[in-house]
Amino acid sequence: MGVEVRVEGLTKSFGRQAVWSDVTLTLPAGEISVLLGPSGTGKSVFLKTLVGLLEPDRGSVWVGDQDLPRLRERELYEVRKLFGVLFQDGALFGSMNIYDNVAFPLREHTRRPEREIRQIVTEKLDMVGLLGAEKKLPAEVSGGMRKRAGLARALVLNPQIVLFDEPDSGLDPVRTAYLNQLIIDLNQQTDATFLIVTHDINTARTVPDNIGLIYHGHLAMFGPREMLLSSEEPVVRQFLNAQRIGPIGMTEEKDADELAAERRSGQELPPLPPIPRQLRPSNGLPRRAERTPGQWCRENGVMPPIGSFV
Residues 152, 182 contacting (CB under 8 angstroms): no
State how far the Cα of 140 lies from the Cα of 135, in Å rounded to an integer.
Answer: 10
- The predicted pLDDT at position 86 comes to 92
Question: Coil, strand, or helix at residue 34?
Answer: strand
- The predicted pLDDT at position 310 comes to 35
- The predicted pLDDT at position 293 comes to 57
- The predicted pLDDT at position 199 comes to 83
Q: What are phi and psi of 281, to 5 degrees?
A: -60, 145
Going residue by residue through the chain (310 aa), what tens digit of pLDDT does each one get? 789 999 999 999 998 888 989 999 999 999 999 998 877 778 889 999 999 999 999 999 999 899 999 999 999 989 999 999 998 766 889 899 999 999 999 999 899 999 999 999 999 999 999 999 999 999 999 888 999 999 999 999 999 999 999 998 888 889 899 999 999 999 999 999 999 999 888 899 999 999 998 887 889 889 998 888 888 777 777 777 766 666 666 555 544 555 555 555 656 666 777 888 889 898 877 666 555 555 556 565 555 544 344 3
- The predicted pLDDT at position 290 comes to 57
Domain residue ranges of the chain, discontinuous segments joined by +: 5-82+159-300
- The predicted pLDDT at position 209 comes to 95
pTM of the model: 0.85
Angle between helices 114-127 and 143-155 (to 10 degrees): 130
- The predicted pLDDT at position 228 comes to 82
- The predicted pLDDT at position 229 comes to 87
- The predicted pLDDT at position 70 comes to 93
Number of Cβ within 10 Å of residue 95's Cβ equals 10
Burial class, 88, CB count within 10 angstroms (exposed 0-12 / middle 13-18 / buried 19+): middle
- The predicted pLDDT at position 288 comes to 62
> What are the b/e assignments for 246-276, b being 16+ CB within 10 Å?
bbbeeeeebeeeebeebeeeeeebeebeeee
The CATH class for the domain spanning 5-82+159-300 reads alpha beta
In degrees, rounded to 5, the angle at the alpha carbon of residue 210 between the alpha carbons of residues 282 and 86 is 65
Amino acid at 185: D
- The predicted pLDDT at position 296 comes to 54
Residues 128, 183 contacting (CB under 8 angstroms): no
Residues 178, 99 contacting (CB under 8 angstroms): no
